[in-house]
Amino acid sequence: MAIPHNLRKGAIIRLEGKAYLVLEYRESRTGQRRPTLHVKIRDVLQGKVLEKSIDDGVPVDVVDSQTRVLQYLYSDPATCHFMDVRTYDQLDIPHEVVGDGAVFLLEETEYKVLFLEDQPVLVELPPTVVLDVVDTPPSAGTASGNTSKAARLKNGIEVQVPRFVKTGDRIRISTDTREYLGKD
């Protein structure tokens, strides 16, 4: 099969029986050799990022996918409950699909959800979220030595923050690294 012409960044391809999101790609041709596709892809289900070189003869199918905007409502032990903002239909997405990012879901906030064959496979989180600090020890003394302290956030996670952050502050957190990025 030839390299698909509708391949683009953000497309979903099926390779070796698995679905991957295309992050980057480029086609290379050298001399009289067949074209080779160099792709940086992320496994849709497991989240692993891979770099592959695909020869022209390897079957690569672009999978029909759909991105829908859903509003997060609430969670229970098995699922996260969302509402389609266009149709007002309620959808239940298993925690396995949402993954570790479930702690960053904020009620009444809209998220892009990727569907493959009418099944949700990926909830796209924003790169940062703003959360309230609910508990952190007061800063005492000078700033010599350790200049950070632990802070418990509204969603229950604990992060390291600078000494000047206090209970009640709103701070920005990276959803990828769970690191403090600044006060809001």
* Pair 50, 73 in one domain: no
CA within 13 Å, CB half, 97: 19
The answer to whether the CB of 7 falls within 8 A of the CB of 41 is no
Domain residues for 57?
A: 12-63
Give the bridge partners for 158, in sequence order: 152
Overall domain count for the chain? 3
CATH code, domain with 159:
2.40.50.140
Gap between the Cα atoms of 65 and 83, Å rounded: 19
Backbone angles phi, psi at 99, to 5 degrees: 75, -155
pTM above 0.75, yes or no: no
Q: Residues 59, 76: one domain? A: no
Maximum Cα–Cα distance across the chain = 71
**What local confidence, expressed as pLDDT, does residue 100 receive?**
83
6 pLDDT tier (thresholds 50, 70, 90): low
Q: 174 vs 119, which has greater pLDDT?
A: 174
Do 85 and 115 fall within a single domain? yes
Q: How does pLDDT run across 76-122, given as a tens digit for each residue? A: 988 999 999 999 999 999 988 888 888 999 999 999 998 888 888 88
Q: Are residues 21 and 59 in the same domain?
A: yes
Question: Who wins on pLDDT, 138 or 73?
Answer: 73
Residue 92 CA to residue 98 CA, distance in Å, equals: 11
